Structure 1
Amino acid sequence: MKWGVELKQNRRARFHYSQDTAIEKQFNWKQMTRLLGYMDPYKKNLLPKAIISMLLSTAVRLIIPIFIGVLLFDHAIKDQDETLLVQLIIGIAALYLLSWVANTYRIKWTNQLGQYIIYDIRQGLFKHIQRLSHGFFDKRSAGSILVRIINDVNSMQELFTSGVINLLMDIVLLFGIIVIMFVLSPQLTLAIMIILPLMFLISTSLRKRIRRSWQQVRIKQAKLNSHLNESIQGIRVTQSYTQEKGNMEFFEGVNHENYASWRDATQKSAFFRPFVEMSNAIGTAILIWFGVYLIQNGMDYGVFVTFAFYLGMFWEPISRLGQVYNQLLVAMASSERIFEFLDEQPNVPEKKNAIEMKEMKGEITFKDVEFSYDESRKALHEMSLKMKAGETVALVGHTGSGKSTIANLISRFYDPTNGTVRIDGVDLKDVKLDSLREKVSVVLQDTFIFSGTIMENIRFGRPDATDEEVIEAAVAVGADHFIKRLSNGYATEVEERGNVLSVGERQLLSFARALLADPRILILDEATASIDTETELKIQKALNVVLKGRTAIMIAHRLSTIREADNIIVLDHGRILEQGNHGELMRSGGTYYELVKSQFNMMDAG
């Protein structure tokens, strides 16, 4: 029982520490200007059309009450002018028709405008995230990133599809109503306007709390998505340890917090509209009470009727402005989180005058290289080494010795804290990233297979490769024999992460993908760890041919796979202990000899 309580507490602890954080920024128009800047590409086409149709429909709405009140009541009906009455009825019908046409096109063009802007924001955000360094992804879960690309961008859709244009329309409408009401009766207008300062004070006090509430909604959604992403990817582990119930309890807590945050935000946002309706009731009471007094003192009935129309219209834009204001707060909460990502700069920046690495021989040099993933410990200590072009270099050592760090620095996924990494004598900081990575392929132990066909997965690193070249690469690594046995061969569709394939088959596909890219440097990071001995022997034969003339870096715990390496570098806690070929290191009787001996002893014991 006690263990169960501790388990729940541990889950809550994990839940607590994986959460996203609120962004403490003041509501500012500078940020809103940046957000509205996404309208710039449409200033010459869709935006003017939407504004013109909005102004036309608003002008019609402002004119109609004058036709009904002043002209109809005080002239056509009062003077019993049937000709004017017919003309007014036709004119009012024509105005309503014109308003309907203008509104139809306003809705059409504003929706098109909004969808284009949302498309641009999401496209730009995804493009920017793809260029960020590995350090960015090390600190964030996939779920929290997905929330910003999908949910946060979607939350701005209503603002751009209707909010901005409706905001302009309501401001114009409100300004027009106030002007006309003052012209009709300054006294009655001032009497009704007395309630506006109170509305302003209440809406101002709510602003910060509403914005914070919507920020919390985004944070809880990020946590919910992170847990869902983790749970689905780890479902096999969950079922293996029969932790479905505990996982469900954990999800219930995350889901409840998400629900509670939405409830809190919507309750605060919904408070404004009832207050506007109450203000409308007070304004109507003032109109009737004070209007009767003015009629008794000479005001025309038509003016009073017209004023009543405008008063009914007056609270409508104010109510909608409250809704738009809520949309604005939601958009601001989301835009803060989106701009946080857009303002994130790569930890591995590319110089403006970076050079194109057109040709690469593959000579790699580390000079006094130090590297730290964090301040607590160093992964590499003043490391200097040289890998000759075209040779096969093996990196050996216990977990945490710095093997993968060296590979990451060669691909320039990270920059060294101190020292320089050079290829063919050129500092990698002076090279364009794309030109470098096009010539360096990495095969990892945990192979990622994309949804699509076998052919598309192999072609991923070189999209312009022909079908024949894809098949040649598959044959070279021994993948062709199992691909042909699939239902549709190279056209077989594989699901996300390639779950329909075995671990070894996925690894073979990653080899084919890397070799098809025709790299000058090939990094094999525990690439054969998941392959059986028979398949490994086939790959070794293929690699002997494929790696000729290329620089190969092999990271392996299974020392039997690196016997033929030209140079074996033995690492320990970020330092080089010894290096040489297999024979030299075995004769020296050092660390490598002990590692080989211990592995063979384990095999014999097994």
Structure 2
Amino acid sequence: MSKVRTSSYSNTQILQRVYSYVKPYRSLFYFSLILTLLLAIIAPVRGYLIQVMVDKGLKESSAGIPAWLNNWLDKLSGFNVVEFIIQIFIIQIVLLFLETLFRFLFTYITAKVGQNVVNDLRKTVFNKVLSLPLSFFDKTPIGTLTTRTVNDIESINEIFSDGLIPIIADILIIIFTLGTMFWMDWRLTLICLIPFPILIIATYFFKESVNRSFISVRNAVASLNAFAQEHLTGMALVQSFTAEDREFKKFEKINTEHKKANIKSIFAYSVFFPVVEIVLALSIGLLVWWIANFKIEAGKLIAFILFLNQIFRPLRMIADKFNVLQMGIISSERVFVLMDTPCAETAERIPDPWPKTFNGHITFKNVSFEYKPNVPVLRNISFDIPAGRSLAIVGSTGSGKSTIISLINRLYNHQSGEILIDGIDNKDIPLATLRHHIGVVLQDVFLFNGSVLDNLTLRNPDVSFEQVQHATRLLGIHDFIMSLPGNYDFKVLERGASLSMGQRQLLSFARCLIYNPAILILDEATSNIDTESELLIQNAIDTLMKGRTSIIIAHRLSTIQKADHILVLDKGEVVEYGTHYELLAEGKNYAKLYEMQFKNNPA
């Protein structure tokens, strides 16, 4: 079982933090607390009135009824038994109506407060996820984040609907009912409470058993979400290697753990509830025995049976509600651990106002970087790209090409050296400003489920349809889009499954051009393109690069040759730098790469 507690938060601190989100809804929250008090007051009154009706109305006895109440009832009914019973009946109906109304309002308001808190929390958490550094996603399964954002936050809602406030309401009902019972007959009340130690012991073991089961269930749900998310995303790979049976067995194992955890909780419930019924039966049995031996009024017998049911009804559920509360606390802690994860850094040392345009002059000065401590990926990298010029980066797999790109737009922060944009350290530039001026086209194009237009604008209302069409016409892909069913409203399936690789890449180029970046980064953007799309894409690249500082990572000779300079990396170090022909003349690493990759396939 994975660890449940992942921080040093106490339960009290977690609840205080959860209830800090109640502040905008304080009036509703306090109203729900008032309703709990009203429900607790009404609960024993109805039982007591039944005793009064039976003892005074049917037996015409006033034993156990305070003088002031007895006189008031006599005046109310005019000393007529039938009228007296009718009056008590009417009072009971009014109390029942009030209790029903208060319980409806209580249930609705607590649920409403919970949903409002969940709504605010979910927005806060998702906004937090958007601001987390890319390194966090390298270490955290997407399914786990899905569980935090959806399942765990939904569990927080149960703190309100089935947790702390309902527990307070149940405890108040028990206290007021017991108080009424002691006031009516303290000896009889103590007799009824003799079996209670059995219930207390059973409740403790039930709470512990269900709590362990719920923790197992929550961990299994996180594992199921992570496994399903990963395998649904990688389904093509699973099927390509005919790994369906193996992966199904893994899923079956996780699912079985989930089932076993649920069955354990079901077993605990199936034992606990009969124990509660047995204890209730013992209490009623002792009550009847005492009344039969000491000749106490029949009305008191009926009232005490009602009181015992009023006590045992919440007791049946209170242990379960404590477990719901505990699971809400555990879920809250997981959410707060995520919320307390440090965000991507933002700089505050920027002149105000920040310039709206970049020239795009990029300088690396002795930049070093490592993903893991003492495992360097880049070592003392230095180069300079004047504004509007282009640089191609080549090297073997793992040489650090893509890492350089990630450092420029601060998906990761370098440990030493300087990366300057127009002479300003990129760590001193607000992330939103920095990334607004950098356009990135990756090898693996990601398209969202939605229309072509949505994917081009990323649903940015500031981007007009005219801007979109201008960009697509410049790139020469307007006709291709118009040939799709629905044109710009064509439905793109998740990850662009309804389009070819070349079509997806063309849309990614258009998306980049629409935002008109000063710096263009192409990371293997042409590596998976078919021959038919290559010419169109090459023209799109030429259009994109005009007037922009460009960094190209590519294996296509035509793209690399057009770069003003070429940087050759090997094991995180710069081993060559120059133009295409200069590097060929040197006959070193680049020339060997050219010989191996391009000479026999010149296009």
TM-score (normalizing by structure 1): 0.89
**2:315 corresponding residue in structure 1:** 318
- Which whole-Å CA distance do the structure 2 matches of 1:114 and 1:568 have between them? 58
Q: 1:552 aligns with which of 544, 550, 553?
A: 550
Q: 1:278 to 1:123 in 2, by over 3 A?
A: farther
Partner of 2:22 in structure 1? Answer: 39
Whether the aligned pair in 2 keeps the contact of 1:212 and 1:333 (CA below 8 Å) is no
Given that residues 557 and 598 in structure 2 are in contact (C-alpha distance below 8 angstroms), is that contact kept between their aligned partners in structure 1? no
Go from structure 1 to structure 2 and tell me whether the alpha carbon gap of 1:239 and 1:443 turns closer, same or farther (over 3 Å shift). Answer: same
Taking the aligned partners of 2:599 and 2:102, their CA distance within structure 1 comes to 85
Paired residues of 1:35 and 1:335 also in contact (CA < 8 A): yes
Q: Cα–Cα, structure 1 residues 495 and 92, in superposed 2: closer, same or farther, change >3 Å? A: same
Q: 1:431 to 1:551 in 2, by over 3 A?
A: same
Contact 2:162 2:324 in 1 (8 A): no
In structure 1, what is the equivalent of residue 519 of structure 2?
521
Match of 2:332 in 1: 335
Structure 2's unaligned 5+ residue stretches are: 61-79
Q: Are 2:345 and 1:349 equivalent residues in the alignment? A: yes
2:76 matched to 1:78? no
State whether structure 2 residue 259 is matched by structure 1 residue 263. no
Within a 5 Å distance, the mapping from 1:395-434 to structure 2 comes to 395-434=393-432
CA contact (8 A) 2:177 2:307 kept: yes
Report the CA distance between 1:99 and its aligned residue: 1.9
Q: How far apart, CA to CA, are the structure 1 residues paired with 2:438 and 2:272?
A: 58
Cα deviation, residue 111, structure 1 = 2.5
Match of 1:498 in 2: 496
Q: Encode CA deviations 1:553-603: one digit per residue, 9 max, x unaligned.
A: 111122331111112111111100111121222222221122112223442
Deviation per CA, 1:220-248, whole angstroms, max 9, x where unpaired?
A: 12222222223222322333333333332
Matches of 1:415 and 1:427, distance apart in 2: 11
Summarize the alignment of residues 362-511 of structure 1 with structure 2, pairs less than 5 Å apart: 362-375=360-373, 377-460=375-458, 462-511=460-509
| Secondary structure in structure 1 of the residue aligned to 2:375 | coil
Deviates more, 1:267-276 or 1:230-239: 267-276
Q: Which amino acid aligns with 2:249?
A: E
Distance 1:400 1:537, change over 3 A: same
Counterpart-to-counterpart distance in 2, 1:418 and 1:273:
64
Give SS of 2:446's match: coil
* CA displacement 1:390-433 (0-9 Å, x = unmatched): 21111111111111000000110111122232212222222221
1:309 pairs with 2:306: yes
Equivalents in 1 of 2:254, 2:108: separation in Å? 39
Measured after TM superposition, the shift of residue 108 of structure 1 is 2.5
Residue pair 2:475, 2:543 contacting (<8 A) in 1 also: no
Q: Which moved more, 1:382-391 or 1:561-570?
A: 382-391
The whole-number CA distance in structure 2 between the counterparts of 1:431 and 1:147 is 33
Segment drifting more, 165-174 vs 245-254: 245-254
| Alignment match, 1:11 | none
- SS of 1:603's equivalent in the other structure is coil
State the shift of 1:447 in Å: 0.3
Q: Is the 8 A contact 1:478 1:508 kept in 2?
A: no
Q: How does 1:116-135 map to 2 (within 5 A)?
A: 116-135=116-135
Shift of 1:206: 5.3
CA separation of 1:288 and 1:602: change in aligned 2, threshold 3 A: farther
Q: Do 2:388 and 2:549's aligned partners in 1 also have CA atoms closer than 8 Å?
A: yes
The percentage of counterpart residues that share the same residue type is 35
**Structure 1 counterpart of 2:345, which letter?**
P
Task: Say whether the 8 Å CA contact 1:20–1:144 is kept in structure 2.
Answer: no
Report the number of matched residues: 581
Q: 1:29 aligns with which of 12, 23, 28?
A: 12
* Structure 1: distance between partners of 2:349 and 2:109: 43
Distance (whole Å) between structure 2 residues aligned to residue 329 and residue 598 of structure 1? 63
Post-superposition Cα deviations, 1:181-204, rounded to whole Å, max 9, x if no partner, equal 111122222333344455445544
Q: Indicate how the Cα distance of structure 1 residues 95 and 310 shifts in structure 2: closer, same or farther if over 3 A, else same.
A: same
- The secondary structure found in structure 2 opposite 1:366 is strand
**CA shift digits 1:46-70 (9 cap, x unpaired):** 223433444334432221111111x
Aligned counterparts of 1:209 and 1:183: Cα–Cα separation in 2: 36
Query: SS state of the match for residue 43, structure 1?
Result: helix
- 1:234-249, aligned counterparts within 5 Å? 234-249=234-249
Q: 1:310 to 1:25 in 2, by over 3 A?
A: farther
Query: Do structure 1's residue 170 and structure 2's residue 167 form an aligned pair?
Result: no
Closer/same/farther in 2, CA of residues 21 and 302 from structure 1, 3 Å limit: closer
Partner Cα distance (1:104, 1:89) in 2? 22
Match of 1:9 in 2: none
**Aligned-pair Cα RMSD in Å:** 2.5
Deviations 1:344-401 (A, max 9, x none): 112x322455665633221222222211111362111122222222211111111111
Partner deviation per Cα, 1:12-49 (whole Å, 9 max, x = no partner) = xxxxxxx96543568622222222333222112x2234
SS of alignment partner, residue 570 of structure 1: strand
SS in 2 for 1:155: helix
Counterpart position of 2:70: none
Secondary structure of 2:140 counterpart = coil
Q: Decide whether the 8 Å contact of 2:451 with 2:489 is kept in 1.
A: yes
One-letter amino acid of the structure 2 residue matched with residue 390 of structure 1:
G
Once structures 1 and 2 are overlaid, which stretch shifts more, 209-218 or 87-96? Answer: 209-218
Higher mean C-alpha deviation, range 223-232 or range 138-147: 223-232
